[in-house]
Chains A and B, each alone.
Chain A
């Protein structure tokens, strides 16, 4: 990508006028995406970008500049701009000799760029056919395919030099079903940090049938009730809720800003025994996985809540340096044009001991959520809201009617404290997490579990 002497020279220039720390992040991305709509290929699109971001830290201030010019002189110019932005002055820190951090080889079986575009399009046609065959009620099908390859190099004045080659593949199907109650939509969109072998585990027909069933089920659904109810979250469905409602509040940058309800609570009980929350960038195939984070730290397994006790936050390099500790491998950035910050990777609640079916049987009345849509949280207050995309009523311990058009609202710490049953099963959800205008791939997982009480905001009168 860039020769090591050029990397060294760039870092030297970044700290030549002072400054405590500098790093260089080089990124080369390529992507292909295809959309199938209304029974035909709507769009086949490819993109590429390549550039470098240089950061200079002086005291509490970070200066940042980025460039698409990867020549020695282009990088030096960006390094000088970053140093000027940091208002660096006086004696600088010396750049430590670079030593390359060994990283395991990438386990991708089939690089998507080696797969003919015709094969990618064929996956879309197969999904379209399966979705339409699933039910006569399916009136519209959109399928999309996306692959991306991101090669990165990270080097910093501490002497770190590391590389990663990240390949991701994702496939999404959205169906519209029409019936007496109007139009309803259903989606399914799994993604993994793998190559084209993604389809060995996720045949397009299977994804299409899940999306179609979701749309068709909603046709028969009645408006969801309103009020406080016990809510059982099916495996995988609620991971996003804990990502939003708890995970963000455990990011060290938000904690440092006093914008987290979990500030100052390490060592305290925040959930019942049996509730364990983990963030693990090293789950190799999961959507949020990486070998190194975007600051060169090795991805690792971080236990955030251990059997109900808050044990640690997630850290990027800058916040970790200020606290005199190591990064937890959670420093991520959307592209070379963005500054890194604390981000989740693959976040999950660990499986417990209860039979998932038994959790439903022991719920006299409540809501069973199979899929949630997006959500939002105010980390300073902990208040969250989530859309429900597939849910059923639980009556006398049995699933009865499907319901639609509802939001779950609550408070993160309260909801976590109210988890009173944790199942033995497990599944993950794939998504893009937005924070401060940057979007990164993440996964969120959880076993079937019950929250004793959440507010359901339905549309039923």
Chain B
């Protein structure tokens, strides 16, 4: 069933690409996704949605100009109108010799790494069984600890995505990929002292989901914050929870994009070859790692992906590039074009991670007399600036003393600058975990940050 469906998309993409006129390059990027979304509240299904979505993005490069148009439909008349829009849009674009679709020369004989990212059980499992899992997760969270007074909501979601692209230059690509996740937000304590904790599990297939893991995670994260107070302002060593370090790493990753460098929006521009972090820090983007949720054999322009080491033991080696940014920078693409059907290819990481250390989180906790353990942060995007590197975010978590969790804290901010934090990484834990969203998390010990509270 899968193969047939993908062929149908590939045929649609090829037909659009074949409509290129003389002196014109045409690319079609076609997707179809079958999705289930279940929301459970108070032990029962609040909503259940079963949907199929499809869309096409058409990119034209002609006379050194580029234009794009997209549509949320694969009907023949809509595709024809979208192609006409893309041509019209290209005529208003600025001339830039760096525009151009991928050619077989850009692939240079490199073959995509075969990755098995499809699990039949996402489509084969009955909706009733999915509902059953979501309700079981909701109940498990509620029963995980007597202090849990309610569950804000429990959400199940899955998707089976097929993508086909074709360019008039002869480059084609296809991807099929499934995912499934279940997440729950627990509320612990009384109305005078409510704390919330997020728990989730995610995988390629339905069979990867573990309800007990969700419950234990949500309950632990909510209950251990009960009684949290605002700490006194001071400078202090900081331990970042894997979910927090993954978010911070994603911010660093945005400044390691060739697009950010090109547009003068990276704090790392002109620093290739220099030490930008402690020697404990090695940063790699590896979309060929099948365990990563963002794994993909090809990028958004049809170029095969590969592992890219961006920072090696603190030294900046280079940036992620797509074809356009590579041509502008006088280098080669790293297969890092990311896009949706509605956009032109940007540059981004798919499987960004810090090289794991050798010791478990407990050893990191025990290595300093006192530290702040940051369980979650808020305002990450408003409070950090990947251009200037300023970093100040709201946080909640626990104090750590003598290697043990001590009193919980809330209503505080932690601040530093991203470059300083990277130089201050004392140790990376051994607990590398792939998380949805293109990054992996790991426990991280940062020498010192400003904790602002009372």
Interface of A with B (CB < 8 Å)? 34, 37-38, 40-51, 60-66, 68, 81, 85-87, 117-118, 121, 139-140, 142, 176, 182-185, 226-228, 257-259, 261, 263, 337, 339, 372-378, 380-381, 383-387, 389, 404-407, 409-411, 455-461
Contacts and interface: CB of A to CB of B under 8 A. Distances in A.
Contacts, number: 244
Contacts of B85: 46
Contacts of B279: none
Nearest to A382: B194
Contact of B51 (A86, A183, A263, A337): A337
Contacts of A383: 378, 394, 396, 410-411
B263 interface: yes
Q: Which of B54, B75, B344, B385 has the most CB of A within 10 A?
A: B385
Contacts of A121: 92
Contact of B194 (A49, A63, A257, A381): A381
Nearest to B81: A48
A44 B194 contact: no
Contacts of A140: 263-265
B399 interface: no
Contacts of A87: 45
Given A60-B44, A409-B412, A259 B70 contact: no
B392 A257 contact: no
Contacts of B66: 43
B71 A47 contact: yes
Nearest to A44: B89
Contacts of B235: 461
Interface string B381-408: 1110101111111101000000000000
Contacts of B5: none
Given A60-B42, A65-B50, A182-B388, 20 more contacts: A43-B67, A49-B55, A61-B45, A61-B48, A62-B47, A66-B49, A68-B72, A68-B75, A182-B389, A337-B51, A373-B383, A376-B382, A378-B196, A378-B378, A381-B194, A385-B382, A385-B394, A386-B382, A405-B388, A461-B235
Cβ-closest 7 pairs across A and B: A457-B413, A387-B382, A385-B394, A49-B72, A40-B94, A385-B379, A373-B382
11 contacts: A42-B93, A47-B342, A68-B72, A182-B267, A337-B51, A374-B379, A389-B382, A407-B383, A455-B411, A457-B415, A459-B415
Interface in B354-386: 378-379, 381-383, 385
B78 interface: yes
A455 B92 CA distance: 49
B142 interface: no
B82 interface: yes
A183 B48 contact: no
Contacts of B71: 47-49
Nearest to B149: A258
A61 B44 contact: yes
Nearest to A411: B411
Contacts of B44: 60-61
B415 A226 contact: yes
Nearest to A385: B394
Interface stretch (B171-179, B281-289, B429-437, B446-454): B446-454
A455 B230 CA distance: 10
B153 interface: yes
Interface in B114-157: 127, 149-150, 152-153
A384 B396 CA distance: 11
Interface string B205-237: 000000000000000000000000010010100
Interface string B242-273: 00000000000000000000011101000000
Contacts of A85: 48-50, 127
Given A42-B94, A61-B48, A226-B450, A410 B411 contact: yes
Contact of B264 (A139, A257, A259, A458): A139
A375 B380 CA distance: 9
Contacts of A184: 387-388
B69 A176 contact: no
Interface residues on B, range: 35 or more
A45 B394 CA distance: 36
Given A375-B379, A461-B450, A50 B72 contact: yes
Contacts of A455: 230, 411-413, 452-454
Contact of B89 (A46, A406, A457): A46
Contact of B47 (A50, A257, A339, A373): A339
Q: Is the interface of A mostly helix, strand, loop or mixed?
A: strand
B11 interface: no
Contacts of A374: 379, 381-382
A378 B45 CA distance: 24
Given A38-B263, A182-B388, A457-B392, A385 B196 contact: no
Interface of B: 41-42, 44-51, 53-55, 66-73, 75, 78, 81-82, 85-86, 88-90, 92-94, 96, 127, 149-150, 152-153, 187, 191, 194-196, 230, 233, 235, 263-265, 267, 342-344, 378-379, 381-383, 385, 387-394, 396, 410-417, 450, 452-454
A405 B194 CA distance: 30
A183 B270 CA distance: 14
Contacts of B383: 373, 385, 387, 407, 457
Contacts of B82: 48
A460 B392 CA distance: 11
Contacts of B344: 43, 45
A258 B150 contact: yes
A263 B382 CA distance: 28
B187 A259 contact: yes
A111 to B, nearest CB: 17
A376 B46 CA distance: 25
B379 A456 contact: no
Nearest to B417: A459
A176 B387 contact: yes
Contacts of B413: 226, 385, 407, 409, 455, 457
A423 to B, nearest CB: 24
A183 B387 CA distance: 6
A45 B346 CA distance: 14
A458 B396 CA distance: 17
Nearest to A142: B263
Contacts of B394: 376, 383-385, 407, 409, 457
Contact of B412 (A42, A60, A457): A457
B187 A258 contact: yes
Nearest to B265: A176
B255 to A, nearest CB: 11
B327 to A, nearest CB: 15
Contact of B48 (A62, A372, A381, A410): A62
Given A118-B92, A183-B264, A378-B196, A48 B452 contact: no
Contacts of A378: 196, 378
A380 B152 contact: yes
A152 to B, nearest CB: 15
B46 A62 contact: yes
B29 to A, nearest CB: 13
Given A43-B66, A227-B233, A257 B152 contact: yes
B388 A64 contact: no
Nearest to A81: B50
Contact of A44 (B47, B93, B417): B93
Contact of B93 (A43, A384, A387): A43
A228 B231 CA distance: 12
